[in-house]
Amino acid sequence: MFLINCPFCGEREQSEFKAGGEAHIVRPKQPTELSDDQWAEYLFMRKNIKGIQFERWNHIHGCRKWFNMVRDTSNDEIKAVYKMGEKPPVK
Amino acid sequence: MTKNLRVKSSKLVDETYRISFKFNGTTYYGFKGDTLASALLANNIHLVGRSFKYHRPRGIMTAGSEEPNAIVQLHNGTSRTEPNVRATEIEIYEGLVATSQNCWPSVKFDIGGINNFLSPLLPAGFYYKTFMWPASFWEKYEYFIRKSAGLGKSPDVPDPDIYEHKYIHCDVLVIGAGISGLIAAKTAAKNGFKTLLVEEKSYLGGSTIYQDSEFFKINNQNSASWLEKEINEVKKIENLEIKTRTSVAAFHGYNFLLARENLTDHLPIEQRENKTRQRLLKIRAKKVITATGSIERPLIFDNNDRPGILLSSAIKKYADLFGVACGEKNILFTNNDSVYETAISLIQKGIKVQAIIDNREEIDSKLIKETEKNNIKIYKGYTIVDTFGYKRINSVSIMKLSKDGQKVIGSKENISCDSLGISGGWTPAVHLFTQSGGKLKFRDDDQVFIPNTYPSNQISIGSCNGDFTLDEILINTPKLLKEFLNIKKTEYENIEIYSAFNKSKRNIWLLPSNKIVGKTKSFVDFQNDATAKDIKLALREGFRSIEHVKRYTTTGMGTDQGKLGNMHALGIISETASSKMGELGTTTFRPPYTPLTFGTIVGRNVGKYFDIIRKTPIHEWHVENKAEFENVGQWKRAWYYPQNGENMHEAVQRESKAARDSAGILDASTLGKIDIQGTDASEFLNRVYTNAWSKLEIGKCRYGLMLNEDGMVYDDGVTTRLDENHYIMTTTTGGAATVLGKLEDYLQTEWPELDVYLTSVTDHYATISVCGPNSKKIIQKVIPEIDLSDKDFPHMSFKNSKIGKVKCRVMRISFTGEQSYEINIQANYAKSVWENCMEAGKEFNITPYGTETMHLLRAEKGFIIAGQDTDATMTPIDLQMDWIVSKKKFDFIGKRSLYRSDTIREDRKQLVGLITDNPEEILEEGAQIVADMNKTPIEMLGHVTSSYFSPNLKKSIALGVVKGGKNMMGQKLIIPMEKKQINVTVTDPVFLDKENKRLNA
Ligand SMILES: [Zn+2]
């Protein structure tokens, strides 16, 4: 079980958090102007990487804030956590 | 048969304290400190069970948690019976009753034993190959298999014991209190680390604590005495907590570990009352030091599984620690120096060693010399090729090994014995290390897997790290600790060590025999009866991956997870397939390391503490008025209120009729309520609902549908505009938490620029809904000051008001199709307001109704229940609710998905009404809907989602989803049931009052 460093609360048990899928997928500003394929790209297509992955997490049983995490999915090492809207601190 | 095999001078047992226990119906005696295994051995009992597949007699084989055979059922009354207990771990207590498992009708006469003679017919994959075909025979096979392969019985009444969970946070966790674990714990604690030391046994010191010979010395004392002094010091250290009888079950990522602390299992039954039996420790450690030791390997030769065959180290341990001789004529068989330690121990205690058979040709060490001095015959370069004796070994056949170790040569010689100790070297116990994600490397010198890379802040030390000898441990452990703990010095720097152990070893995974492999039974997995022959067969049949071979042969799949034989399985695969051991990898070790009880896993979360129970503030009234309850998520909701012995159907029919004829009252407090404030609140609602919100006047209510981004409906409810920048949203009872979560998600991540604040107020307000033609009169009596005239307070509007001095909100909204008012009031006043309504409604026969009637009434009106009439595949268009989807709005969540090529298909499942030809016939919810019974395969068009008998329409009504249903109005369809077919007609989903006359009346 991870020990996650919430950018607002500090280190907490993973059981306080909810994973929210891939990060940095921006909702299109004008969805109505997109083709079916372009909309499907936003809606369904996720990377599911083995290795460094950027993810959304929510401190659901804590401050309820969403934030981003960089995690190596091959060994579960959390490389960084950062607030929504901030640039990832690692590549 | 019964003999006393006790020898003097044991370390652990208290011979002044006699304990009686029962095994397979006979009473025996042991001493305090004995395990069930040591006590049985002292009574000359080796045969304790039958093997799983062949039902071969099996005996105690080890002295620890790796035991594959001595698995027993404990009987402490019917509620405390426990299967799968290892006799080598359970400490005896007065009144212990145990029986053998996996034998029927008895351990001495076992019907399944016939499998042993049928064994040429029971090769690897036998169960897969045979019992799969023909499928119809499975029931017969199953009866036979279950009857003869009983793996213990679980209790069939609730567990009366108390279990609990405890969190522990520490700087350093040390797993295992052998010599290296003790050194580590002492060093860590003395350097200021808050340290926890856990040990699965009842005592500290591991195997060194009974290593008291002149051949192993530390600072000129024998190693056992040196360690005893260390232990005495360790016990006095303040920031060091020691937990014995505590076994680490799982080592997860980020140094999170689960351990089971056993508190009462060793106590006499009467001393256990009101005490916690077992505790699940949830440990988060900054640093973990694994010192789990190593497990002796068996040797793989023909008939290596007879009762009386034990690991050589177990024989030594039973003699040294428990004062028990495993036999009176012992033979030891080895490929390394370990058995000579055993031999010397046995000699010192006056136990006879008949002979030693050593794979190695040229050997020389102080231990061997000492053994030879005692006139014990050592057969060098020999191997055992067979053993004899059905329920107890009585002799072995030996032959000379060829130079390359691949064949046997010369003639056979027989030696009699009553016990055989075997040693194939040592396997580091790396289970926990690999569970944590650690990667192993293979050390070719002595053919062992040892830790290579650590995934978290941890190290392995001692023999689980491949340091097997006393000098290796005492030299390497302090070095590793200094680096790991970042300290300059330990107290073990200038220590003097003397170890007579010579590390030479002759590793042969499968020992050769004078018979071909196909004719031998050389067991690799003793619990699951997997033999070397089975593994070779799996390879011949094309299996290559160790994970596949494991499943096909069931090697390593028992409750012992193959702690003894996994390495040999790998070795045999590697030799047969000519691949390198290091490249094969190992199978995955999964938690728990040793089995856990269900009680430990659930802790206190049993009975009424199983899950949170949410009750409305009016709950007690429902209880007093004999409501039946239904669970909706964690909520207890009044389901219906039976009167005068009514069944559910009768009660619901009465309640439904009363609600439409005069007045009904419903506790709707469980609906989710979200308070929404901020200057962008209207814009926010525009984006999350399908319809338009900007123009909703203050004081008005509106129904809304929420979609996922994929266009599918996931929740609905009425939202009221309380003020310019203030709304109150209601959600479904079950959807409250997810809706709030979703709204917060969009606000924080997609639209952080919006000025909107969300607060869950579900528990703060209670909601009382009064409906029916007389609802207005009742509300007027309860709230005299409010103007309820249709002109001033029309359907879908709201007013602030007061009941006495208490503020309340009244909404005129309806989920039943009747004129209906909802009073929202601070929760603690709710019960009294409810009682006011009941009193005021008395003259109108006001009838409390539950969720079942609510569902029926809304179905009459064709209102959907999100989650019942919808699943995650229904768009608003599929629900025939096109009217609620704004065409003008630029965007809302899910809008773009409503015209994807898939969502605009005409033949999607769509919501329709269904009327049965026979008005008395009620459809079953979930029943399939078809059009043509003659075409095969029959095409399933959809299913029934809601179905009731309507007392107001006096006929059966149903909602369902049907492919292309929108264009099927008036069409006949069929509901095929098990014994009949029901004919239905597709209709509009609104069955009652299409014109909404009743709402506005
Ligand atoms: Zn937080």
Q: What residues have CB less than 8 Å from B765, skipping those under 6 apart?
A: B669, B673, B809, B824, B825, B826, B827
Closest-CA residue of chain A to B437: A75
Which pLDDT does position B527 carry in this prediction?
86
Across the strands, what pairs with B284? B169, B256
pLDDT greater than 70 at residue B985: yes
Cα-to-centroid distance, A7 and ligand 1 (Å): 7
| Lowest mean pLDDT, pick from B409-418, B551-560, B712-721 | B551-560
Who wins on pLDDT, B150 or B892?
B892
Cα-to-centroid distance, B244 and ligand 1 (Å): 37
Residue B57, both tokens: 């007699």
Q: Strand pairing of B71-74 and B57-59?
A: unpaired
Q: Using alpha carbons, list the distances in angstroms from residue A30 to A38, B42, B632, B756, B896.
A: 11, 83, 39, 22, 9
**Mean residue pLDDT across chain B:** 92
Chain B residues with CB-CB distance to A64 below 8 A: 744
From the list B455, B748, B895, the residue facing A84 with the nearest CB is B748
| Helix, strand, coil content of chain B in percent (nearest 5) | 25, 30, 45
**Residue B577: pLDDT band by 50, 70, 90 thresholds?**
confident
Which among B61, B62, B91, B57 is positioned nearest to B74, based on CA atoms? B91
Report yes or no: A1 at the B interface, CB cutoff 8 Å.
yes
Most B CBs within 10 Å, among A60, A75, A79, A82, to test the B interface: A75
> B96 in helix, strand or coil?
strand
What is the spatial distance between Cα B363 and Cα B369, in angstroms, rounded to a whole number?
10
Q: Count CB pairs under 8 A between chains A and B.
A: 53
A57 with A68: CB under 8 angstroms? yes
Cα-trace Rg, chain A: 14
Main-chain phi, psi angles of B946, to 5 degrees:
-145, 140
Which pLDDT does position B561 carry in this prediction?
79
What's the start-to-end Cα distance of chain A, in Å?
A: 24
Which pLDDT does position B789 carry in this prediction?
96
Which pLDDT does position B510 carry in this prediction?
95
What is the spatial distance between Cα B320 and Cα B297, in angstroms, rounded to a whole number?
20
pLDDT greater than 70 at residue B102: no
**What letter represents residue B676's amino acid?**
I
Shortest alpha-carbon distance between residue A41 and chain B (Å): 12
Domain map (residue ranges) of chain A: 3-83
pLDDT greater than 60 at residue B111: no
- DSSP tag of B595: -
Summarised one tens digit per residue, pLDDT across range B208-262 is 999 988 999 999 999 999 999 999 999 999 999 999 999 999 999 999 999 999 9
**What letter represents residue B775's amino acid?**
S
**What letter represents residue B789's amino acid?**
S
pLDDT greater than 90 at residue B953: yes
Domains of chain B by start residue, with CATH: 1-155 (3.10.20.440), 163-294+428-499 (3.50.50.60), 298-424 (3.50.50.60), 508-592 (1.10.10.1100), 667-857 (3.30.1360.120), 900-1000 (2.40.30.110)
Cα-to-centroid distance, A85 and ligand 1 (Å): 16
What is the spatial distance between Cα B439 and Cα B437, in angstroms, rounded to a whole number?
7
**What letter represents residue B224's amino acid?**
A
Mean pLDDT of B75-81: 81
Binary contact (A27, B750; C-beta < 8 A): yes
Q: Which H helix or E strand runs over B180? A: helix B179-190
From the list A56, A66, A75, the residue facing B455 with the nearest CB is A75
Mean pLDDT of B719-739: 96
What is the spatial distance between Cα B571 and Cα B469, in angstroms, rounded to a whole number?
24
B183 with B299: CB under 8 angstroms? no
Per DSSP, which regions of B606-671 are E strands? 628-632, 635-640, 664-667
**Residue B109: pLDDT band by 50, 70, 90 thresholds?**
low
Closest-CA residue of chain B to A57: B745
Q: Using alpha carbons, list the distances in angstroms from residue B516 to B32, B301, B512, B543.
A: 48, 12, 9, 21
What is the spatial distance between Cα B446 and Cα B151, in angstroms, rounded to a whole number?
36
Binary contact (A30, B891; C-beta < 8 A): yes
Which among B95, B67, B58 is positioned nearest to B313, based on CA atoms? B67
pLDDT greater than 90 at residue B876: yes
B337 with B422: CB under 8 angstroms? no
Angle between helices B532-540 and B566-577 (to 10 degrees): 40
Most B CBs within 10 Å, among A6, A8, A37, A43, to test the B interface: A43
Q: Which of B88-126 are b and which e, b meaning 16 or more Cβ less than 10 Å from the residue's Cβ?
A: bbbbbbeebbbbbbbbbeebeebebbebbeebeeebbbe
Burial class (CB in 10 A: 0-12, 13-18, 19+), A79: middle
Summarised one tens digit per residue, pLDDT across range B636-676 is 999 999 999 999 999 999 999 999 999 999 999 999 999 99
Q: What residues have CB less than 8 Å from B279, skipping those under 6 apart?
A: B163, B164, B165, B166, B260, B261, B263, B600
B230 with B317: CB under 8 angstroms? no
Q: What residues have CB less than 8 Å from A11, skipping those under 6 apart?
A: A3, A4, A5
**Residue B590: pLDDT band by 50, 70, 90 thresholds?**
confident
Q: Which H helix or E strand runs over B442? A: strand B439-443
Binary contact (B455, A40; C-beta < 8 A): no
Residue length of chain B: 1001
> B807 in helix, strand or coil?
strand
Which pLDDT does position B593 carry in this prediction?
85
Which pLDDT does position B9 carry in this prediction?
64
Binary contact (B897, A36; C-beta < 8 A): no
What is the spatial distance between Cα B42 and Cα B30, in angstroms, rounded to a whole number?
8
Binary contact (B897, A32; C-beta < 8 A): no
Summarised one tens digit per residue, pLDDT across range B321-380 is 999 999 999 999 999 999 999 999 999 999 999 999 999 998 888 999 999 999 999 999
Binary contact (A58, B254; C-beta < 8 A): no
Binary contact (B749, A84; C-beta < 8 A): yes
Mean pLDDT of B947-972: 96
A82 with A88: CB under 8 angstroms? yes
**Residue B137: pLDDT band by 50, 70, 90 thresholds?**
low
Residue B423, both tokens: 């040693």
Q: Using alpha carbons, list the distances in angstroms from residue A69 to A22, B202, B457, B656, B863.
A: 10, 44, 21, 53, 42
> B800 in helix, strand or coil?
strand
From the list B253, B890, B900, the residue facing A39 with the nearest CB is B900
B951 with B852: CB under 8 angstroms? no
What is the spatial distance between Cα B975 and Cα B960, in angstroms, rounded to a whole number?
11
Cα-to-centroid distance, A5 and ligand 1 (Å): 8
> B170 in helix, strand or coil?
strand
Q: Which of A13-51 are b and which e, b meaning 16 or more Cβ less than 10 Å from the residue's Cβ?
A: bbeebbebeebebeebeebeeeeeeebbeebeeeeeeee
Which among B27, B138, B33 is positioned nearest to B90, based on CA atoms? B33
What's the start-to-end Cα distance of chain B, in Å?
A: 95
Half-sphere exposure of B412 (CA within 13 A, CB side): 11
Closest-CA residue of chain B to A65: B748
Cα-trace Rg, chain B: 38
What is the spatial distance between Cα B63 and Cα B792, in angstroms, rounded to a whole number?
86
pLDDT greater than 60 at residue B466: yes
| Lowest mean pLDDT, pick from B93-102, B146-155, B518-527 | B146-155
Give me the helices (H) in B420-527, please. Answer: 431-435, 470-485
pLDDT greater than 70 at residue B84: yes
Give me the helices (H) in B662-765, please. Answer: 681-688, 736-745
- For residue B164, the Cα-to-chain-centroid distance in whole angstroms is 16
pLDDT greater than 80 at residue B965: yes
Which pLDDT does position B135 carry in this prediction?
53
Chain B residues with CB-CB distance to A5 below 8 A: none
Which pLDDT does position B145 carry in this prediction?
52
Cα-to-centroid distance, A58 and ligand 1 (Å): 8
Fold topology of A3-83: Folate-binding fold (3.30.2270)
What is the spatial distance between Cα B832 and Cα B620, in angstroms, rounded to a whole number?
11
Most A CBs within 10 Å, among B255, B712, B748, to test the A interface: B748
pLDDT greater than 60 at residue B999: yes
Which pLDDT does position B116 carry in this prediction?
63
Query: Does ipTM top 0.95?
Result: yes
Burial class (CB in 10 A: 0-12, 13-18, 19+), B164: middle
Binary contact (A31, B891; C-beta < 8 A): yes
B467 with B458: CB under 8 angstroms? no
Angle B56-B61-B67 from CA coordinates, rounded to 5° = 100
pLDDT greater than 80 at residue B798: yes
Q: Strand pairing of B820-826 and B765-771?
A: antiparallel
pLDDT greater than 50 at residue B591: yes
Report yes or no: A34 at the B interface, CB cutoff 8 Å.
yes
From the list B252, B745, B896, the residue facing A34 with the nearest CB is B896
**Residue B269: pLDDT band by 50, 70, 90 thresholds?**
confident
**Residue B1: pLDDT band by 50, 70, 90 thresholds?**
very low
Cα-to-centroid distance, B259 and ligand 1 (Å): 28
What is the spatial distance between Cα B567 and Cα B14, in angstroms, rounded to a whole number?
37
DSSP-assigned states of every residue in B285-344: EEEEEE---EEE-----TTTT-TTEEEHHHHHHHHHHH-B-S-SSEEEEESSTHHHHHHH
What is the spatial distance between Cα B412 and Cα A35, in angstroms, rounded to a whole number?
83
